[in-house]
């Protein structure tokens, strides 16, 4: 198929089409111009009036000249009367031409003129002097050279130094004109101009055609459909641009397939995680409800305490399962985030509101200071809540001893930052901090996906976690 | 009390334990082991508790069908799943959501809130410190004197919204958007002014409010 395509492609190639235009334009000079020229003349010959039949005798001037010189040579040494007779004979053969001869003494002898008065007028026989002087001879020859009228002059004996005079034959302009090559008329120039304009128009059409198709392709590429993938475009001609369109469609199709595969994989992994979560949580629920039943039996104080402890452990195990499975989903990259421009302070307040009863119950000092203008970041709201949940959960579980939660904003060089702090024993102190790692790993994965940064300062006096959006500076100015 | 709950749970152990606990709390429980026939069984029930992962018809589908058949009936979803999008999908129609392993007390508390919100619970007056609130009749009285406290439209709307979320801390944005139905603009003092007038009417000492509590940095709360 590819072989056939390349063959067909070559025929329809843009390059070959453009070459065709250029070759046509170039050929127009050496081939087209003579061809049209000939065509024009042929057309003229067909349509223009033909010279009358009796003019044919005078059509070949060269032959006439030769004959005239021959005649002059043969008259060498003849008596003037004999020359007169011969000239009269010749005049009979060429009735439309004027003839005369001048003898050795410069006297004009025997003038024969055509009968047609129009031809006579063109010859200007009245200007011929009776007695030739040198200036008159020169003036005559100058007129003859200009063909006004055409004069064939031959010395008798075909030699100037023979001194026997000369023979003159004059052919009227009307006859010579009839055989003169026709000059180019304005029509022909117009045809040339039309050809030139046609070339320009064809070139222009060729390039606007290419431009239009390229623009169409550009539009198709920059406009994305619902899934964030450009729509395929209707295939056009099978030339280079056509192949580009085809390649583009192919790419779009591949992209669509890979997106679908990705979505399928994401769905599969989510299913797996959901099933796993179900299988782990169901027995925990059973245990928890039985603990509840057990708690209602008359147990000793120690018994009640140990039931409470088990209940707490079940709760934290549930959190651990949640984190473990979330981490699995997040680290595999199989989670789609939907980042939007959101007010982070509002989410912080709402999240703190949800945690407040728990802090209150445990006797925490809650210091929330989130006043001022909204702080807009590009985040996925539900996953951002998850970050906060994990951080707050870590405080409740691992920094309980500090009895303090602080949530506030600070102004940094890159913009405002959110700070969540506690007064626990710090992250490095072993017994309290154990288990905080997974929650923080999830926080880091999520922060990374939302292009947020975490800076943690931890000491024996407490931990403070600062979250910034490095590129957020301009978001809040909108 | 005559409140009947529909409970759909496929796991026998959880189902029998939860049913027993709820019966102890004086609810009549209709426990179904699958989603088939749940809509029919819901007739006469005041609330539905659905497990998300059910054999055959899943909890979301059953919940949506129940909501279509009984739009007024609150639906509480129980799930052993984790992923966040499931929560969103479930909450589109569900009124509340609880993740396994839940504590039986928490389930009972959620049920109570939902029943109160929809008015399905007994119209027992709500006692808040020195006040008695008859939610069904929109009447607020001073317990000691029986004097009725009259609120303006907006004050009443704010107070009922907070009563509906009893014990929950509500942010300024949440209250403003629920009552005025438009986005809250930071710095707007309207809500604060309304709450000040509301306190002047409700509180014994508006300078030290007991009914509408201020949670510093977050918002307001009405505690039961």
Q: In this predicted model, what pLDDT tens digit does every residue of A160-192 receive, in sequence order?
A: 787 788 888 888 877 777 766 555 567 777 877
* Residue in chain B nearest A325 by alpha carbon: B82
A269 in contact with B, Cβ within 8 Å? no
**Looking at residue A3, what is its pLDDT?**
41
Is the same domain home to A391 and A462? Answer: yes
Rounded to an integer, the average pLDDT of A238-265 is 88
Is the same domain home to A406 and A451? Answer: yes
B127 in contact with A, Cβ within 8 Å? no
Rounded to an integer, the average pLDDT of A37-52 is 71
**Owning domain of residue B37:** 4-118
Tell how strand B212-215 and strand B170-171 pair up.
unpaired
Question: A116 is written with which tokens?
Answer: 């047609």
* A109 pLDDT tier (thresholds 50, 70, 90): confident
Tell me whether residue A91 is in a domain: yes
Q: What's the number of CA atoms in the CB half-sphere (13 Å) around residue A226?
A: 0
- Domain with residue B145: its CATH number is 1.10.10.10
Give A367's contacts in chain B (Cβ within 8 Å). 217
**Owning domain of residue A311:** 241-327
For chain B, how many structural domains are there in total? 2
Query: In sequence order, what DSSP letters do the residues of A122-159 get, joined into one string?
Result: HHTGGGS-SB--HHHHHHHHHHHHTTTTEEEEEEGGG-
Residue B203 contacts residue B212 (beta carbons within 8 Å)? yes
Residue A453 contacts residue A468 (beta carbons within 8 Å)? yes
Is the same domain home to A139 and A21? Answer: no
Is the same domain home to A168 and A188? Answer: no
Is the same domain home to A197 and A103? Answer: no
Rounded to an integer, the average pLDDT of A370-386 is 88
Is the same domain home to A369 and A285? Answer: no
**Looking at residue A4, what is its pLDDT?**
42
**Looking at residue A1, what is its pLDDT?**
39
* B82 pLDDT tier (thresholds 50, 70, 90): low
Residue that is last in its domain, among B118, B148, B176: B118
pLDDT in tens, A294-346: 988 888 999 999 998 998 889 888 888 888 888 888 887 777 788 899 999 99
Is the same domain home to B130 and B192? Answer: yes
Q: Which one-letter DSSP state was computed for residue A57?
A: G
* Residue in chain A nearest B186 by alpha carbon: A373
Cβ distance of B21 and A293 shorter than 8 Å: yes
Residue that is last in its domain, among B90, B118, B146: B118
Residue A156 contacts residue A76 (beta carbons within 8 Å)? yes
pLDDT in tens, B90-107: 567 888 888 888 989 999
Residue ranges of the alpha helices (H) in A297-380?
Answer: 301-331, 344-361
Is the same domain home to B114 and B131? Answer: no
* B123 pLDDT tier (thresholds 50, 70, 90): low
Is the same domain home to A298 and A400? Answer: no
Residue that is last in its domain, among B54, B83, B118: B118
Nearest to A382 among B53, B88, B168 (CB): B88
Residue ranges of the alpha helices (H) in A223-300?
Answer: 240-296
Tell me whether residue A274 is in a domain: yes
Is the same domain home to A376 and A265? Answer: no
| Cβ neighbour number for residue A34 with a 10 Å cutoff | 10
Complex ipTM > 0.95: no
- Domain with residue B68: its CATH number is 3.40.50.2300
Is the same domain home to B9 and B101? Answer: yes
Is the same domain home to B154 and B213? Answer: yes
Nearest to B82 among A277, A371, A372 (CB): A277
* B214 pLDDT tier (thresholds 50, 70, 90): very high
Please name the residues between 345 and 404 in chain A that touch chain B, using a CB distance below 8 Å: 346, 349-350, 352-354, 356-357, 366-374, 382-383, 386
Please state, for a pLDDT cut of 90, what percent of chain A lies above it.
18
pLDDT at B61 over 80: yes
């Amino acid at each position: 198929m590819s072989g056939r395509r390349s063959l067909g492609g070559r025929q329809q190639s843009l390059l070959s089409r453009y070459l065709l235009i250029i070759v046509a334009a170039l050929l127009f000079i050496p081939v087209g111009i003579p061809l049209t020229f000939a065509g024009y003349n042929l057309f003229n010959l067909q349509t223009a009036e033909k010279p009358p039949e009796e003019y044919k005798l005078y059509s070949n001037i060269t032959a006439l000249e030769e004959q005239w010189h021959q005649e002059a040579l043969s008259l060498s040494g003849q008596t003037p009367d004999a020359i007169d007779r011969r000239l009269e004979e010749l005049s009979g053969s060429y009735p439309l031409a004027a003839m005369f001869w001048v003898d050795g003494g410069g006297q004009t002898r025997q003038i024969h003129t055509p009968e047609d008065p129009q031809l006579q007028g063109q010859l200007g026989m009245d200007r011929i002097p009776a007695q030739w002087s040198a200036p008159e001879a020169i003036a005559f020859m100058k007129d003859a050279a200009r063909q006004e009228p055409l004069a064939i002059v031959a010395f008798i004996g075909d030699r100037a130094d023979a001194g026997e005079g000369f023979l003159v034959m004059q052919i009227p302009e009307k006859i010579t004109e009839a055989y003169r090559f026709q000059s180019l008329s304005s029509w022909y120039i117009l045809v040339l101009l039309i050809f030139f304009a046609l070339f320009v128009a064809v070139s222009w059409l060729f390039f606007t055609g290419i431009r239009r198709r390229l623009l169409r392709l550009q539009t198709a590429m920059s406009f994305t459909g619902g899934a964030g993938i450009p729509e395929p475009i209707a295939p056009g001609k099978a030339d280079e641009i056509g192949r580009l369109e085809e390649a583009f469609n192919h790419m779009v199709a591949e992209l669509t397939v890979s997106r679908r595969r990705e979505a399928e994989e994401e769905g599969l992994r989510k299913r797996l995680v959901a099933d796993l979560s179900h299988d782990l949580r169901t027995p925990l629920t059973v245990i928890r409800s039985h603990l509840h039943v057990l708690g209602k039996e008359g147990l000793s104080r120690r018994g009640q305490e140990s039931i409470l402890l088990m209940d707490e452990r079940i709760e934290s195990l549930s959190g651990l399962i949640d984190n473990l499975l979330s981490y699995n989903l997040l680290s595999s990259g199989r989670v789609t985030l939907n980042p939007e421009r959101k007010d982070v302070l509002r989410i912080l307040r709402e999240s703190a509101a949800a945690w407040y009863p728990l802090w209150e119950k445990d006797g925490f000092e809650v210091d929330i200071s989130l006043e001022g203008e909204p702080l807009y970041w590009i985040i996925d709201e539900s996953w951002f809540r998850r970050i906060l949940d994990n951080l707050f959960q870590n405080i409740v579980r691992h920094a309980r001893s500090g009895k303090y939660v602080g949530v506030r904003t600070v102004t940094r060089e890159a913009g405002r930052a959110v700070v969540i702090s506690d007064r626990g024993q710090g992250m490095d102190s072993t017994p309290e901090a154990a288990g905080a790692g997974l929650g923080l790993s999830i926080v880091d994965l999520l922060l990374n996906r939302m292009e947020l940064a975490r800076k943690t300062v931890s000491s024996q006096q407490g931990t403070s976690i600062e979250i910034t959006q490095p590129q957020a500076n301009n978001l809040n100015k909108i | 009390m005559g409140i009947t709950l529909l409970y759909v749970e496929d796991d026998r152990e959880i189902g029998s334990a939860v049913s027993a606990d709820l019966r102890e709390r004086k609810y009549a429980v209709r426990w179904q082991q699958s989603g088939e026939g749940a809509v029919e069984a819901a007739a006469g029930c005041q609330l539905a508790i659905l497990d998300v992962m059910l054999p055959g018809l899943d909890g979301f589908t059953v919940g949506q069908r129940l909501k279509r058949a009984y739009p007024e009936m609150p639906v509480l979803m129980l799930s052993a799943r984790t992923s966040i999008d499931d929560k969103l999908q479930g909450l589109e129609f569900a009124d509340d959501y609880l993740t396994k392993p839940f504590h039986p007390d928490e389930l009972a508390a959620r049920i109570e809130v939902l029943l109160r919100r929809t008015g399905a619970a007994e119209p027992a007056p709500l006692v808040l410190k020195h006040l008695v609130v008859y939610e069904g009749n929109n009447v607020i009285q001073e317990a000691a004197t029986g004097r009725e406290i009259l609120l303006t439209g907006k004050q009443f709307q704010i107070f009922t919204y907070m009563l509906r979320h009893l014990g929950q801390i509500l942010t300024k944005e949440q209250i403003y958007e629920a009552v005025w139905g438009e986005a809250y603009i930071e710095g707007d003092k309207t809500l604060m002014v309304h709450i000040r007038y509301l306190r002047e009417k409700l509180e014994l000492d508006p300078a030290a409010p007991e009914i509408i509590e201020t949670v510093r940095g977050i918002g307001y709360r009405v505690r039961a």
